Amino acid sequence: MLLVAALLSASAAGAAANEAATAFQQEVHAAMDRMMRGMDAAPTGDVDKDFVAMMEPHHQGAIDMAVSELRYGRNPQLRRIAQEIIIEQQQEIAAMRIAIGRPLPPSAPAPTTIPPDGAAPHPLHHGDPSQ
């Protein structure tokens, strides 16, 4: 009886891990798709603005992927690296916007903050890169 219970428990744990891996892959692929679409900005003729228009979605893609690592990853070292990526990439997005005179994105909770309703946290998006 204990053997059956142990096997069922291991099977359930394996299924949960599989679901997390699938959800992680879906989130990361969606983040990469958003990033690639965002980086395909039409040139304006202003090299600096064009650079920021392409780099902002690139940095946001890194943030979104790091958030997925925090949601599903278990390795403490990689989770810490993901936290650092989020902070550093947000700072770089802000610095680039300031450098070209664009407004900063509105303040928002950290992308890994659990909303009061208990729903899963959502990646922070900065909206239209042409703003």
Q: How far apart are CA 130 and CA 102, in angstroms?
A: 9
Contact assessment for residue 102 and residue 52, using Cβ atoms and an 8 Å cutoff: yes
pLDDT of amino acid 106: 81
Q: Which of 32, 43, 52, 50 lies closest to 94, judged by CA?
A: 52
- Place 122 in a pLDDT band, splitting at 50, 70 and 90: very low
User: Mean pLDDT, the chain, as a whole number?
Assistant: 83
pLDDT score of 58: 97
Residue 124: name the closest of 93, 79, 96 by CA. 93
For the segment 16-44, what is each residue's pLDDT rounded down to a tens digit?
778 888 999 999 999 999 999 999 989 99
Q: What is the pLDDT of residue 108?
A: 77
In the chain, the amino acid numbered 96 is M
Please give the share of the chain, as a percent, with pLDDT higher than 70: 74
Residue 94 has pLDDT above 90, yes or no: yes
- What's the pLDDT tens digit per position in 101-113? 999 888 877 766 5
3-state secondary structure 35-90: HHHHHCCCCCCCHHHHHHHHHHHHHHHHHHHHHHHHHHCCCHHHHHHHHHHHHHHH
pLDDT of residue 44: 94
pLDDT band at 115 (very low <50, low <70, confident <90, very high): low
**Residue 3 above 90 pLDDT?**
no
Listed range (46-55, 90-99, 114-123) with the worst mean pLDDT: 114-123
User: Is the CB of residue 63 less than 8 Å from the CB of residue 89?
Assistant: yes
Can you tell me the distance from the alpha carbon of 63 to that of 71, in angstroms, rounded to the nearest whole number? 12
